Structure 1
Amino acid sequence: MIREFAKVADELGREKGLSRSMLSEVLREAIVTAVHKKIGKYGEPEVTVDIEKGTIKILIPKEVSEEIDSKWHEISIEEAKKYKENPQLGDIVMVPTTLEALGRQAAIAAKNKLLEKIRDAERQVIYEQFQNKVGEILNGTVLKTERDNLVVNIGKAEAILPKRESIPADFFGRGDYVRALLLEIRVVKGWPQLILSRTHPEFLKKLFEMEIPEVYEGIIDVKGVAREPGDRAKVAVYSTNSNIDPVGACIGLKGVRINSISQELRGEKIDVIEWSPDPVKYVCNAISPAQVLLTNIFEDEETIEVVVPDDELSLAIGKKGQNVKLAAMLTGWRLDVLKESEYNEIRKVRLIEQEQEFKEFDELYNLEHIDVLTDEMVRRLVDAGIDDVEKLSTSNLEEVAAALEISDEEAINIINSAIDYLTSKLAELQDDDFTEESEEEE
């Protein structure tokens, strides 16, 4: 029985990818459990396992006694002499036994514990084997379909390719070859579950590394990927080597390189564009194939306004907004695409608003509002670069005194007059806001 037990354990271990040293320890713990099942926690048995030879040695502790109440716990002096020289009453002697001697219940307990320990060891092997492969592409074959999810054999383990992580045009049957990204390792009921993805942007990036030598070698860097899986994608590439065209290298002669990647993605159209540290240039590249006439950047709103010819608006936006959506995803900017004629009208309105703002600013901050200043003083301050009340209020007295050729005391008086003026205007504005809020509440 012991040889068969070791043989079965060895076969199970090889099937699960367990090392013999790990398997020996697993089997040893299972045998210890079986001994405890039979004799209870009466001392600690000694169990030695040799998987290669297919041997298991079991020694159980027995006390040397005059009266034998339990053959599993006590041993006579005459019997103890077989295992120890000159035994005395009360001595503990390690006595060999076998699985057969321990009985059927002990053997079942050993088998159950063995399966449990192998499963625990398998869990640990999966963690150790795959925890550093998250974000890498794995190859496997389809085993079966469970609730629209594919179960994929990836060697000594199984992985799940959920339907949501599959390209819409994907269709795999049992035994079919699958390439996918190891997206994450989840723990489900204490067991590691490997989750695959063919829709994640990183999958496309890794395909570039596998199919394009310059990317694999680091000569070309894939800076960003945006995808609508199975339909269209944009990939930004860059090289510090001025002698290399990163876009052309990734596309390949007659598109051979990019086409092989597209075929893996069920015909997904891939636009390869050049990355730039200049956000405006990057956006212009990303919005291609449309021509960009001009751009306006609004950093506070994280928005770039893109103006294109009237006849290329639909090209810039793309079918169902796909082109501009992917460009925005790729660059990280919100893109507002306008046709040239529309922008011209908006520009006219903006100029009028800008003129009005300048007028209001001039009316509010004009130096002529400061009573202590003469026309000549205003001219001198403007020549010195102090051309509005706000600047005057924050100027130091040396600047004002030098510009007007006056004493420090007179300069302080002028600066304080500017501060008093701004304070009064701020109070007026706050009163106006309070009045408007009250009227709205009523």
Structure 2
Amino acid sequence: MVKSLRKLIEQVAKEKGIPEWLVEKALKNSIALATKKDRKIKDRVEVELTDDEVKVYILRKGEKFPLDIVPEELDRIAAYAAKEEFLRELEKADEERRYLEFIELEGEIVLGIVRKVAENEDLIVDLGKVMAVLPKREQIPKEVYKVGDRLKALLLRVVRKRGGYEIILSRTHPNFLRKLLEAEVPEIKEGEVEILNIAREPGERAKVLVRSKDTRMDPVAVVVGLRGSNIAPISKELSGERIDVIKDTDNIEELVRRSLAPAPVTDVRVDPKLKRVEVAVPKDKLSLAIGKRGINVKLANKITGWYIDILSEEDFKKISQLK
């Protein structure tokens, strides 16, 4: 019987385009279910296919107990399972295969069509072979979606859930912006320009820290493109998110200055022990440096890894005198 089951596994795998291990898993599950029905067993049942026999076990309190089944009875159960339960288990295996294919796409951009907007505003997105979820928390706040809309998103992760899998998408993750930049700027894809860090306030503003392997190359100009030709379509894709591209430097004072642009920084004081930086800006430029709802300085903190305290020039001098 084992040989005939092996042939069945090979045949179905070939016909359905499903890996043999998934077909075998489906067949073992179907035999287990058929055995439980035939013997009226309430405990879990596990089936093993060895090279020369089929073994059936009852799982109880963490232990395996072999089930005494004569060959004729096992033949009957297996034949029943192959006709009834196996078809249902095979459908599950086929679905599992389709989801497993997407595990290899984790961290990549995928295209989909919105099929449903749930009550909690999560989106059900059709990726062609499978459905995915774009949770409300992973959506750019200012965007509104409706059924039939096409969208790009980062395939964040494939999650194993009871009874199947769930694909989680994101449009807010920093790596979504990273992948959009890779697709738009060949020098990033080819490794000539490296993205060191990304900080985002989705839909509002982002800062991207870059450097080039060739010191003669200006990585900011390369990434931004001629008159913003590279950044413009990405900003549009992200609902107008403004993208600041910053050239990396080992000089923390200069890095902080660059990270707060376009606000002019007139003085800087660095405290390496606290990893804190105090900066002075003209009084009339305070709001520009801090940004709307504090977004500019918040992103500057994230992109540099330092806490940045923005002061007016007058307050900066007063504090200097007290020290």
Q: TM-score range with shorter-chain normalisation?
A: 0.7 to 0.9
SS of the equivalent of 1:259 reads helix
**CA positional deviation for 1:192:** 2.4
Tell me if structure 2 keeps the 8 A contact 1:152–1:159. yes
Residues paired across the two proteins, number: 286
SS of the equivalent of 1:301 reads coil
Q: Hey, what's the Cα distance between the residues in 2 that align with 1:24 and 1:297?
A: 63
Q: Hey, what's the Cα distance between the residues in 2 that align with 1:122 and 1:255?
A: 44
Tell me if structure 2 keeps the 8 A contact 1:215–1:222. yes
> Which amino acid in 1 is paired with 2:181?
F
Structure 1 counterpart of 2:18: 19
Matches within 5 A, 1:96-135: 106=80, 110-120=83-93, 122-123=95-96, 126-127=99-100, 129-135=101-107
SS of the equivalent of 2:232 reads helix
**CA positional deviation for 1:228:** 0.9
Q: Hey, what's the Cα distance between the residues in 1 that align with 2:131 and 2:149?
A: 14
SS of the equivalent of 1:300 reads coil
Of 164, 171, 176 in structure 2, the residue corresponding to residue 191 of structure 1 is 164
Check 1:295–1:27 CA distance in 2 against 1; reply closer, same or farther (3 A cut). closer
SS of the equivalent of 1:118 reads helix
Q: Hey, what's the Cα distance between the residues in 2 that align with 1:203 and 1:27?
A: 36
1:346 aligns with 2:316: no
Check 1:113–1:331 CA distance in 2 against 1; reply closer, same or farther (3 A cut). same
Check 1:23–1:224 CA distance in 2 against 1; reply closer, same or farther (3 A cut). closer
> Which amino acid in 2 is paired with 1:133?
L
Tell me if structure 1 keeps the 8 A contact 2:22–2:93. no
More strand by share: 2
1:287 aligns with 2:264: no
Check 1:26–1:226 CA distance in 2 against 1; reply closer, same or farther (3 A cut). closer
Structure 1 counterpart of 2:197: 224
> Which amino acid in 2 is paired with 1:166?
Q
**CA positional deviation for 1:226:** 1.1
RMSD, aligned α-carbons = 3.4
**CA positional deviation for 1:141:** 1.9
Larger-Rg structure: 1
Check 1:243–1:36 CA distance in 2 against 1; reply closer, same or farther (3 A cut). same
Check 1:287–1:10 CA distance in 2 against 1; reply closer, same or farther (3 A cut). same
**CA positional deviation for 1:313:** 1.9
**CA positional deviation for 1:30:** 7.3
Check 1:333–1:256 CA distance in 2 against 1; reply closer, same or farther (3 A cut). same
Structure 2 runs not aligned, ≥5 long: 1-7, 40-46, 55-69
Q: Hey, what's the Cα distance between the residues in 2 that align with 1:149 and 1:117?
A: 30
Structure 2 counterpart of 1:253: 226
Structure 2 counterpart of 1:144: 116
SS of the equivalent of 1:140 reads strand
Q: Hey, what's the Cα distance between the residues in 1 that align with 2:285 and 2:165?
A: 51
Tell me if structure 2 keeps the 8 A contact 1:30–1:117. no
> Which amino acid in 1 is paired with 2:269?
N
> Which amino acid in 1 is paired with 2:295?
Q
**CA positional deviation for 1:320:** 2.1
**CA positional deviation for 1:133:** 2.9
Q: Hey, what's the Cα distance between the residues in 2 that align with 1:158 and 1:285?
A: 42
Q: Hey, what's the Cα distance between the residues in 1 that align with 2:35 and 2:308?
A: 71
Q: Hey, what's the Cα distance between the residues in 2 that align with 1:34 and 1:110?
A: 12
Check 1:271–1:261 CA distance in 2 against 1; reply closer, same or farther (3 A cut). same
Q: Hey, what's the Cα distance between the residues in 1 that align with 2:114 and 2:322?
A: 61
Check 1:35–1:296 CA distance in 2 against 1; reply closer, same or farther (3 A cut). closer
Tell me if structure 1 keeps the 8 A contact 2:23–2:90. no
1:173 aligns with 2:150: no
Q: Hey, what's the Cα distance between the residues in 2 that align with 1:120 and 1:170?
A: 36
Q: Hey, what's the Cα distance between the residues in 2 that align with 1:312 and 1:120?
A: 61
Post-superposition CA distance 1:255-296 (Å, at most 9, x none): 121010011101111111212122222111101101212211
Structure 1 counterpart of 2:187: 214
Check 1:342–1:120 CA distance in 2 against 1; reply closer, same or farther (3 A cut). same
Structure 1 counterpart of 2:214: 241
Q: Hey, what's the Cα distance between the residues in 2 that align with 1:236 and 1:348?
A: 34
Q: TM-score, normalised by structure 2?
A: 0.76
SS of the equivalent of 1:174 reads coil
> Which amino acid in 2 is paired with 1:138?
V
Check 1:194–1:24 CA distance in 2 against 1; reply closer, same or farther (3 A cut). closer
Tell me if structure 2 keeps the 8 A contact 1:26–1:118. no
Q: Hey, what's the Cα distance between the residues in 2 that align with 1:136 and 1:143?
A: 21
SS of the equivalent of 1:328 reads helix
Structure 1 counterpart of 2:60: none
**CA positional deviation for 1:184:** 2.4
Tell me if structure 2 keeps the 8 A contact 1:10–1:23. no
Tell me if structure 1 keeps the 8 A contact 2:114–2:123. yes
Structure 2 counterpart of 1:416: none
Structure 1 runs not aligned, ≥5 long: 1-5, 46-59, 63-71, 74-93, 351-442
> Which amino acid in 1 is paired with 2:18?
S
Structure 2 counterpart of 1:262: 235
Post-superposition CA distance 1:194-214 (Å, at most 9, x none): 111101111111111111111
Structure scoring higher RCO (CA < 8 A, sep ≥ 6) equals 2
More helix by share: 1
Q: Hey, what's the Cα distance between the residues in 1 that align with 2:319 and 2:271?
A: 15
> Which amino acid in 1 is paired with 2:165?
P
Check 1:111–1:288 CA distance in 2 against 1; reply closer, same or farther (3 A cut). same
> Which amino acid in 1 is paired with 2:115?
L
**CA positional deviation for 1:22:** 5.7
> Which amino acid in 2 is paired with 1:270?
I
